[in-house]
Chains A and B, each alone.
Chain A
Amino acid sequence: MTTHQLELSNAARLWAMRVADPDFRDWDGLTRWLEPSRAHLAAYEAAVETDEWAKQILTKDFER
């Protein structure tokens, strides 16, 4: 991963983390961050996916 890609995925992960807060309000900030390039959106979606993956694994019910 290049430095640029790494910075992008770090920033995207921060957004995914902040959006997970029930009190998150900065939707315009997220819009402005996503707008400059489709790479931002792709990084954000990857970060969201990882967040949901972890949540899903930790809440899975294995009793059967």
Chain B
Amino acid sequence: MVAQAEISGLHATLLKERGRLLRFLAARGVGHEAEDVFHDLWRKIAVMPERSIADPVSYIFRAAENHMRDLRRATISREKRQFDWHGMADVPEDAPAGERVLIAREQLTHVQAALAGLGSRVDYVFRRYRLDGVGQAEIASELGMSLSSVEKDLQKAYRTLAELRIKLNTE
């Protein structure tokens, strides 16, 4: 065990928020491996550079969310490899690189067109939010818009992209 004095701020937060975090992890689909995931987070935090974090509680929840996304991606790509091996995937992972680039380019054209179709402001707000990583409140003040208008613009973009993805997958 690490002596109490050596426990860094984030680790202290992790311990303090353990109950809340385990409840979040359970809701996020972690079953009996909750303790393992908790220890993975502990280790991840240990290798992070020391710097001041404005909101340590939110920081550890973000780390937990990202960790769950990583786990899911790993599961999906494992399943996908298995699927490819059976020769059933539409675009096998070992498809020629050129073919994959072609598909990606085509999807990019569709995404760009779908966003452009919503008007330049919605397009801009979505890119600022999702590609530049700027929060809704900051975008609202940058553009002199209300927070709820920014949220509505984002909702339009998200809805359109969800519909587009379904369409592309069923074509």
Contact = CB atoms under 8 A, between A and B. Distances in A.
A59 B23 CA distance: 34
B27 A41 contact: yes
Interface in A9-62: 9-10, 13-14, 16-17, 19-25, 27-28, 30-32, 34-35, 38, 41, 45, 47-48, 50-55, 57-60, 62
Nearest to B105: A62
B155 interface: yes
Closest A-B pairs by Cβ, 8 of them:
A34-B27, A27-B61, A23-B135, A31-B27, A54-B161, A31-B24, A35-B27, A21-B135
B24 A41 contact: no
Interface stretch (B45-53, B84-92, B125-133): B125-133
Contact of B20 (A28, A51, A60): A28
Nearest to A25: B58
A54 to B, nearest CB: 5
Contacts of A54: 111, 130, 161, 165
B131 A58 contact: yes
A22 B133 contact: yes
Contact of A57 (B72, B111, B135): B111
A59 B131 contact: yes
Contacts of A23: 135-137
Contact of B161 (A24, A31, A50): A50
Chain A contact residues, majority secondary structure: helix
B143 interface: no
Chain B contact residues, majority secondary structure: helix
B24 A24 contact: no
Contacts of B129: 20-21
B109 to A, nearest CB: 10
Contacts of A45: 29, 72
Contact of A17 (B27, B28, B155): B155
Given A31-B24, A48-B69, A57-B108, A21 B165 contact: no
A8 to B, nearest CB: 13
B146 interface: no
B161 to A, nearest CB: 5
